[in-house]
Structure 1
């Protein structure tokens, strides 16, 4: 899992003018292999239903991760959905407990400070990758940490052997810099979720990442 490549965070509040499911379907068609479903405003039942529908679109084509809600992930998996894992943050349950709860599955963890990355290194056996940011300020996550910039991302990525995915107002234009910094991928919200043509936007991200090798 050293190269996660172009990674979509399908944030339900950001998907316009298309629906979240339309965006996910288009992103997968555009070549994206990692999709994180983020639903901050929906109820557990709504999130669960969305996860089931999203899994039908990603199954066999992309990894589908559930943001924060371990209960939703477990319910979706119990219902037979092809959900791959979870992505959690610093305010969620500790990764050791998350691993105990989900067993087999992917766990991504958001990390920003050297202290958070040091703790992640100590817990590396429970974690598959880190989401490192915010590279730049972003309106899609109002509680994001102080922006790191690309140089700051490079420094943080150098502190861990875990794959580090850059997130926070990054675009296809940043692919080469993120790769040079040792990044394992770039995660986006608005460049795909709010694109007029999410499939074309996804293909552009994939092409930029692959072209930056």
Structure 2
């Protein structure tokens, strides 16, 4: 079974309501794949939040990946971890050794070459960013664009477009071969996460 086509990235600061409520609404709109980012939380609060999100996703067969903390993913029983590019190839291999063969290991790539390296190291999927201009990732240089996404999608590793993704351009990402899209503001921010998620999914099928 393939990965869901929409990966929602958490952002409690941008949400109009407490994060578990926002995620619950997004799940009601069809979301089944969530990346717990919110890196500024202390470890105890992040652990509690991870467990809350796992409980929301479990009844619908959804999965949670914890951003950047392999031990927290193991401790909470999350389905996997999403590693930053700075973790490198060794980070992917260490995560696999720690979490086991069944865990989801994601990787944040910022070039097509990094997609190939992540695939060779045994990642299960990668995000490629920024595909479009976005205010949330100002430090990663110019937008890579759909041509780079198309080149990345030539790898067997599932690639999720990240950066400046909205419901309107999600379909274009799929059309050039992306496994899906990763969205933060497009679902987290605004009064209707359920409706936002449903609009994304309608454009990804």
Is this contact kept in 1: 2:112–2:148, CA < 8 A? no
SS for the counterpart of 2:105 is strand
Q: Secondary structure at the match of 2:202?
A: helix
Q: 1:22–1:2: structure 2 CA closer, same or farther, 3 Å change rule?
A: same
**How far apart, in 1, do the equivalents of 2:107 and 2:2 lie?**
15
1:2 CA drift (Å): 4.2
State whether structure 2 residue 32 is matched by structure 1 residue 33: yes
Deviations 1:48-83 (A, max 9, x none): 010011111111321111111112112212xxxxx2
The alignment status of 1:14 with 2:9, answered yes or no, reads no
Q: Does 1:184 align with 2:179?
A: yes
C-alpha distance 121-105 of structure 1, shift in aligned 2 (>3 A): closer
Please give the alpha-carbon distance, in whole angstroms, between the structure 2 residues aligned to 1:142 and 1:54: 28
**1:100 corresponds to 2:100:** no
Gapped regions of structure 2 (runs ≥ 5): none
1:76 matches 2:73: no
| Structure 1 segment 1-213 matched on structure 2, within 5 A | 2-15=2-15, 17-61=16-60, 62-77=62-77, 83-92=78-87, 94-103=91-100, 104-123=102-121, 126-158=122-154, 160-210=155-205
Q: Deviations over 1:83-107 (max 9, x none)?
A: 2111112112620111011113111
1:149 is displaced (CA, Å) by 1.5
Residues 112 and 156 in structure 1, CA contact (< 8 A), matched pair in contact too? no
8 Å CA contact retained: 1:14, 1:140? no
Scaled by the length of structure 2, the TM-score of the pair is 0.91
3-state SS in 1 of match to 2:50: helix
TM value normalised by structure 1 = 0.88
Secondary structure in 2 matching 1:66: strand
Superposed CA RMSD in Å reads 1.7
